[in-house]
A and B are shown apart, each in its own frame.
Chain A
Amino acid sequence: MSLLVYTENWDGKFKKLSFELVSYAKAMADKLNLPVTALSIGNVADDELKQLGNYGASKVLNVADNRFDSLDNKALAEAVAHAAKSENAQIIIFSHNNVGKAIAPRVAVKLNGGLVSGVTALPESFDPFVVKKKVFTQKAFAHVQIDPDIKILTLAQNSFELIETENNAVTETYDPQVADDVFSTTVKETNKVTGKVLLTDAEIVISGGRGMKGPENWGQLEELADILGAGLSCSRPVSDEGWRGHEEHVGQTGKIIAPNLYFTFGISGAIQHLGGVSSSKFIVAINKDPEAPIFEAADYGIVGDLFKVLPQLIEEVKKM
């Protein structure tokens, strides 16, 4: 038996997210006295694959097959299920991101397993198998029991620390035997924004609300984000007004983020907004209204004029 981790790569590189998943699997595997196998699909160099060993994978299955580049959900699920069977995996772990959310439910059906998505911690018990997850868009937690023998989890991002360990990973070329006719997704065009920090990756996120008064005032937020290497986001009214693009909207119906530091300027903190950001480790609020609900969610705050605060803040962080 083993634990299987689906590790995603981005243009041949793993991210913190992949290592977080392996660290989580390793911590669980140690309690069960089982090995961790990592599955990597796509073209990843051997040195990069070996890095998964630094976090506890003892075996890395390498599927260097570019047919999977189209992210065909059906084909990816078939590949993961094939690996799970050949590794006799009892627990299969994905990230709770776009790809993980897409494939984990399909794998659960294929293997007749039980799935819990958005898990935030190690299992509370193994027999019965009970895990904690977020519910009601971060407003509460639930303890959920998985009944079938095969347990499938998607791990909420930023919910487990990286743990380095002695590396004794072996890498193997692996063929999951997915037939050509399973693939039915064709990518016609890919548009990637380059040079911007991705919101879902960012350790620090700077966010502007209606209190910013207009799109012409975003220059200072951009400057601050640049200095801090932060991602830039906004509240729903800002994207609805067209001041910023919808891809920057964070909140319940926009993107859900969990940075270490979430820095808000002129955001009042409607319950739907907080639903998307309340997993941030620290929240800072700058708002002129002392009654704004954002101050109930924030760890640090300034009640005052953000247009006075922003230039001072930029000066201070430049000195760091």
Chain B
Amino acid sequence: MKFLVLISNVPDTTTKIRFVDDNKAFDTTGVQWIINPWDELALTRAVELKEAGGIEKITVANVGESITEATLRKALAVGADDAIRIEAKPKDAFYVATQLAQVAKNYDVVMVGIEASDYNGSAVGGMLAEILGFNSVSAVSGMNIENGQLSLTREIDGGQQKIDVETPVVTIVQKGIAIDPRIPAMRGIMMARKKPLTVVPAVDAEEKTEYISFELPPPKAACKLVDEDNVKELVRLLQEEAKVL
């Protein structure tokens, strides 16, 4: 089986979020870029399965400008075999999914994180599957290969299900697929430099949604503190002021 893991290049999760250009654009000044945390968990599981002998090849792919190659190299260092960068500025989810479709059609299993930590779209995986006519499974928290067959665990409200699904398939994964992301070892980092990273031109695609502007949430009022021996007062505030008890 051939695996494709989609990698979104996102700001480090501790980044202080600011906007520029009259709140029309995200301020990238000084931002550290990382592999989207859920994509990193997807890649970790793919590498584990490859080590167990169930996968022939793992490719990582993204849509981005050359600056995003550092993130792809990190994915190679974690254990992917090769990387594909589609040369385009990612616009909306449909635009990105259309670009990825030209690559993904050659794979049996596509893995993508449940959302990207920047625009929280949760849409590229499903759109990609629909464009290619692949099935898709969301909220996947476990993946195994048994006798050459893909076996998945997905989260449902209040529980889990084990399911079989026919390939080709797009799996949209969340925490549980792996618990801790794999940290690249020095040897992996050295090897990553020599692994192939192919740049593919973008295809024409429509943009269906546009980000008009951004805003930060209003500042929160100061926390009302209650003395530790006066828990009664806290309960009163929650009942009478907040009206939530």
A residues whose Cβ falls under 8 Å from a Cβ of B:
10, 70-74, 77, 96-99, 101-106, 108-110, 113-118, 130, 133-148, 154, 184-194, 196, 198, 200-201, 203-204, 228, 240, 246-247, 249, 252-254, 260-261, 271-272, 275, 278, 281-282, 284-285, 295-305, 308-309, 312-313, 316-317, 320
Residues of B within 8 A of A72 (CB): 135
Interface string of B201-233 (1 = CB under 8 A from A): 000000111111111110011011111110110
Q: Which of B47-55, B111-119, B183-191 contacts A (4 or more CB under 8 A)?
A: B111-119
Query: Does B22 count as interface, using CB distance less than 8 angstroms?
Result: no
Can you give 17 contacting A-B residue pairs, CB < 8 Å?
A72-B135, A73-B136, A73-B138, A102-B138, A108-B123, A109-B94, A115-B93, A140-B215, A144-B210, A185-B163, A190-B160, A193-B158, A300-B234, A308-B228, A308-B229, A312-B232, A320-B235
Among the listed B17, B129, B139, B162, which residue makes an inter-chain contact with A189, where contact means beta carbons less than 8 Å apart?
B162
Among the listed B120, B160, B163, which residue makes an inter-chain contact with A118, where contact means beta carbons less than 8 Å apart?
B120
Asked if residues B93 and A105 are in contact (CB atoms below 8 Å), the reply is yes
A192's closest neighbor in chain B, by CB? B159
> Interface majority SS on B: helix, strand, loop or mixed?
mixed
Residues of A within 8 A of B130 (CB): 74, 77, 105-106, 109-110
Residues of B within 8 A of A71 (CB): 156
CA distance A293 to B228 in the complex (A): 19
Number of A-B pairs, beta carbon distance below 8 Å: 268
Asked if residues B135 and A70 are in contact (CB atoms below 8 Å), the reply is no
Q: How large is the interface on B (under 10, 10 to 19, 20 to 34, 35 or more residues)?
A: 35 or more
Q: In whole Å, how far is A211's beta carbon from the nearest beta carbon of chain B?
A: 14
Query: What are the 10 tightest A-B residue pairs by CB atom distance, in nearest-first order?
Result: A304-B228, A105-B126, A102-B138, A192-B159, A114-B208, A109-B130, A312-B231, A106-B130, A105-B123, A261-B244
Asked if residues A116 and B209 are in contact (CB atoms below 8 Å), the reply is yes
Query: Does B137 count as interface, using CB distance less than 8 angstroms?
Result: yes
Q: Which of B58-66, B69-77, B171-179 contacts A (4 or more CB under 8 A)?
A: B171-179
CA distance A191 to B141 in the complex (A): 14
CA distance A203 to B161 in the complex (A): 25
Among the listed B13, B165, B211, B229, which residue makes an inter-chain contact with A252, where contact means beta carbons less than 8 Å apart?
B13
20 more A-B contacts (CB under 8 A) besides A74-B130, A188-B162, A192-B159? A77-B130, A98-B155, A113-B208, A117-B122, A136-B11, A136-B17, A140-B215, A142-B212, A142-B214, A143-B214, A143-B215, A147-B207, A147-B210, A254-B175, A284-B238, A300-B234, A302-B225, A303-B228, A312-B232, A320-B235
CA distance A240 to B181 in the complex (A): 12
Asked if residues A297 and B211 are in contact (CB atoms below 8 Å), the reply is no
